[in-house]
Structure 1
Amino acid sequence: MGFEGSYLWRLRQKIGSELAVVPAAQVLVIDSDDRFLLIRRSDTGWWGLPAGNAEPHSTFALTAVRELEEETGLRAEVGDLEPFACESSAGPFTYPNGDQVHAFALCFAVRTWTGDLRPLDGEALDLRFFAEVPDQCHEQVAETLRLWRAYCRTGRFQVA
């Protein structure tokens, strides 16, 4: 969908750059070598996870599937998503244009997908699998990976 016309875009028309609290979903795509997919975001130039805000009448899982495809070209099935955490500690965040947001994101992992890895919606400049967190990475990535590792170690859903 992209930002223009989205629910948050319409909200921004009313509140400007003021802090908005939004439900969101993010996807930790894990390949067969246990590397994770990151996107180099066009708005900050930093690496981040495929993620986005929920739209009215959607679900966290459908948001994750939609954002993954829009940002990476990869398609996942809802049934292949593994919810492992709810992450809300990485806010608020101020975008380069001054917009402030505090996202409450349901985190999903996925190991099965189809499609060709390529940026589609202009949000991603580059896409790459990593074994370690790279430089110029949003701090939320390290937190999400910490939550994933805790989930793998304990089998318990994580909350941060």
Structure 2
Amino acid sequence: MATPDFIRDLRATIGHRLLWLPGVTAVVFDDDGRVLLGRRADTGNWSVIGGIAEPGEQPAAVAVREVFEETAVRVVPERVVLVEALPSLTYPNGDICQFMDTTLRCRAVGGEARVNDDESLDVAWFALDALPDLEEFALTRIRRAAEEGEAWFEGRGEVPALS
């Protein structure tokens, strides 16, 4: 994933310290119920499409932008699937990040799926019963996006104790 300029600017000031970032994941379905996946250039693994929101950018706009940038597919976001703070991670260069992921179910409305940038090695549509090997992150999002119902939130319904 290419590092956005605003993150490079922040890193020049804060170094490798923890950076909290808004991430957006798009689970894209076509009219046949297949899901769009990309094989990431950085890991070689298949995954759902996603990226980092630019300052002031709305989650739905991030989903539309990221899917098009990576796959040349046009989408319409349909609903929020889940919102989750992910565990922090440390990159090989020492940068520490933690993402707040908003996952949106999206419907493909145009374009032909193809590699459209340098972040992907391949893109393809997969039937839900014929998915490639995926990490739990992607599987969870696909399962929840395929379900009808309400968005999922970590800790939903739990009221913290008052001090």
Could you say which TM-score interval applies, normalised by the shorter chain? 0.7 to 0.9
Alignment RMSD (CA, Å): 2.2
Larger-Rg structure: 2
Q: What corresponds to 2:132 in structure 1?
A: 134
- Structure 1 residue 88: Cα displacement: 2.2
SS in structure 2 of the partner of residue 81 of structure 1: strand
Q: Which runs of 5+ in 2 are unaligned?
A: 155-163
- The 8 Å contact of residues 86 and 98 in structure 2, kept in 1 or not, is answered as yes
Q: How far 1:142 sits from its partner (Å)?
A: 1.4
Partner of 1:92: 88
1:32-71 correspondence runs (5 A): 32-71=31-70
Verify the 8 A CA contact 2:73 2:108 in the aligned structure 1.
no
- Asked whether the 8 Å contact 1:81–1:108 carries over to 2, the reply is yes
Classify 1:85/1:34 alpha carbon distance in 2 versus 1 (closer, same or farther; 3 Å). Answer: same
Q: CA 1:149/1:44 → structure 2, altered by over 3 Å: closer, same or farther?
A: same
Number of residue pairs aligned between Structure 1 and Structure 2: 152
Deviation string, structure 1 residues 16-53 (Cα, Å, up to 9, x no partner): 44432211211111123322111111111111111001
* Bigger strand share: 2
Answer yes or no: is the 8 Å Cα contact 1:94–1:101 preserved in 2: yes
Matched, 1:143 2:137: no
Distance 1:12 1:157 in 2: 33
The answer to whether the 8 A contact 1:23-1:104 is kept is yes
TM-score normalised by the chain length of structure 1 = 0.80
TM-score (norm 2): 0.79
Deviation of the 1:55 alpha carbon: 0.4
Which of structure 1's runs of 4+ aligned residues deviate more than 6 A? none
**How far has the Cα of 1:128 moved from its partner?**
1.5
Contact 2:2–2:119 (CA under 8 A) maintained in structure 1 = no
